[in-house]
Amino acid sequence: MLLTGLLMFYAAQQAPPVAKFTRATVFVVGLFWVIHGTYTWLHPLPLPAALSSLGVILMAFPLVAAILHWIPLGLRNQPRTASPS
């Protein structure tokens, strides 16, 4: 996880155009969170009744992490419009 985090910081520092490897790596990390989230939703962590609200957070976290990884990929694909002069 440490190396993945460092790779994400590296990817964030890249100036456009970002290399295909960097974009693919960010996509794969987001895909990891989707797969992890799917597993978490199918096999939730057994929690005591006092911590049942934590279960909702643990189920939502992978989806939020994937979205936060994929938002920059979607924004980079948007064509930039020329500003009026």
Interval 12-63: pLDDT, tens: 777 666 677 788 888 898 999 999 999 989 998 888 988 888 988 888 999 9
Q: What is the pLDDT of residue 21?
A: 78
pTM above 0.85, yes or no: no
Buried/exposed code over 25-42 (b: 16+ C-beta within 10 A; e: otherwise): bbeebbeebbeebeebee
Alpha helices in 43-51 (DSSP H): none
